[in-house]
């Protein structure tokens, strides 16, 4: 299928009048040219089967492969598909933020493009939210057998750590596959424009919530966009954004170091009084290395928090939108209506 440009892409759907939607599905996308056909093939029948107006926001996080062209092709055949393209790669959570800020639905579902989270669970989420009057429905990974052993162990350590530090309100093994009500989305939109970790932020808001369980599948195509480095950064952001425990830990280590220092002082005085003051470099080196490591570790923790304060004070946007097909089409329609009004003859 040939690629199409933005103007042709808008022309294909611009005559569809903007209508309220019951459901918005936000899909962050980055270099997913191999996964997009499978995503559309599974997601569209599920949403069409709901029998309610919906939109799918594919947030292109500055892809460098054929993802933008493929999204444009899909949009000519799928009018409910809405493309939001960011000017540069801003990260998964930033792309998710861009989608949540622009979603129009009464309920908003976020799901990744790799299909490890099943789109077929979306109707169940929607039904649970409506029947039990819930504002949040989490997708919980009950079976992670398709993940590697390292991935399962690192995920277990991550959720254990954040639940110990941030609080037990964080659901275990619940990633970014969730359903949110409009009040939750409006609350998130009203927050300051800064990096967010939604898997901790949303539970902390205290909205009524429930969960469904599912088996996590294998990535349908392509390679993971969350290598070890990004997993470590996510864990660091999660801990420092929602807990001051690391700072208190540094204080405790400092207090313990003071006790050890006092012990060395007493030992030194006793050795001096008994005349056992033979020079030795081993104890001196060990002591210097120990206290140097403690100081650097504490400064590093403090630096992480200061860096976040610095970022918040700068108030820079976490993402920049190049274009949004829905907004572009709306502006084009308004311009056309204005030209028609100007060209209409005045009544005598």
What confidence category does residue 1 fall into, taking pLDDT thresholds of 50, 70 and 90? very low
pTM: 0.70
Give the whole-angstrom CA distance, residue 192 versus residue 217: 35
DSSP-assigned letter for residue 346 = P
Residues 6+ apart with CB under 8 A from 335: none
d(CA 83, CA 29) in angstroms, rounded, equals 10
Q: Tally the residues of the chain.
A: 348
**Is the predicted pLDDT of residue 139 greater than 80, yes or no?**
yes
Most confident of 73-87, 252-266, 285-299, 317-331: 73-87
Query: Taking the CA atoms of the chain, what radius of gyration do you get in angstroms?
Result: 27
Q: Average pLDDT in the 337-342 region?
A: 62
Residues 135-154, mean pLDDT to the nearest whole number: 78
Place of tokens 């933005």: 6
Looking at the predicted structure, is the pLDDT value of residue 125 above 70?
Answer: yes
Q: Which residues contact 108 (CB under 8 A, 6 or more apart)?
A: 23, 24, 25, 26, 100, 179, 180, 182, 185
DSSP label at 117? S
Is pLDDT larger for residue 90 or for residue 193? 90
Token couple for 227: 């290598």
8: Cβ–Cβ under 8 A, 6 or more apart, which residues? none
Cα–Cα distance list, 172 to 102, 162, 211 (Å): 28, 9, 11
Residue 303 neighbours by CB under 8 Å, 6+ apart: none
Q: Which of the four pLDDT bands, split at 50, 70 and 90, describes residue 201?
A: confident
Instruction: Write phi, then psi, for 86 (nearest 5 degrees).
Output: -85, 150
User: Are 10 and 329 in contact, with CB atoms under 8 Å apart?
Assistant: yes
């Amino acid at each position: 299928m040939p690629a199409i440009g933005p103007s042709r892409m808008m022309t294909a759907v611009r005559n569809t009048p903007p209508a309220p939607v019951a459901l918005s599905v936000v899909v962050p996308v980055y270099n997913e040219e191999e996964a997009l056909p499978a995503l559309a093939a599974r997601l569209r029948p599920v949403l069409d089967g709901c029998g309610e107006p919906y939109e799918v926001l594919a947030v292109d996080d500055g892809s460098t492969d054929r993802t933008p062209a493929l999204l444009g092709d899909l949009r000519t055949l799928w009018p409910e598909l809405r493309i939001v393209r960011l000017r540069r790669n801003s990260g998964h959570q930033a792309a998710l933020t861009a989608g949540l800020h622009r979603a129009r639905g009464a309920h908003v579902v976020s799901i990744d493009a790799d299909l490890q989270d099943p789109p077929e669970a979306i109707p169940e989420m929607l039904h649970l939210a409506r029947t039990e009057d819930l504002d949040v429905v989490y997708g919980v990974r009950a079976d992670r057998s398709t993940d590697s052993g390292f991935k399962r162990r690192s995920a277990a350590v991550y959720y254990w750590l954040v639940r110990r530090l941030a609080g037990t309100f964080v659901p275990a093994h619940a990633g970014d596959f969730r359903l949110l009500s409009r009040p939750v989305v409006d609350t998130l939109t009203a927050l300051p424009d800064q990096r967010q970790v939604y898997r901790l932020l949303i539970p902390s808001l205290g909205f009524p919530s429930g969960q469904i369980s599912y088996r996590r599948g294998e990535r349908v195509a392509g390679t993971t966009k969350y290598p070890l480095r990004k997993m470590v950064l996510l864990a660091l952001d999660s801990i420092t954004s929602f807990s001051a425990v690391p700072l208190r830990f540094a204080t405790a280590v400092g207090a313990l170091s003071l006790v050890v220092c006092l012990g060395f002082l007493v030992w030194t005085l006793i050795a001096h009084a008994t005349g056992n003051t033979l020079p030795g470099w081993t104890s001196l080196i060990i002591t210097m290395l120990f206290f140097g490591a403690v100081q650097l570790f504490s400064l590093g923790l403090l630096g992480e928090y200061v860096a976040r304060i610095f970022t918040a004070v700068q108030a820079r946007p976490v993402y920049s939108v190049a274009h949004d097909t829905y907004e572009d089409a709306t502006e084009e329609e308004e311009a056309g209506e204005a030209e028609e009004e100007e060209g209409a003859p005045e009544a005598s």
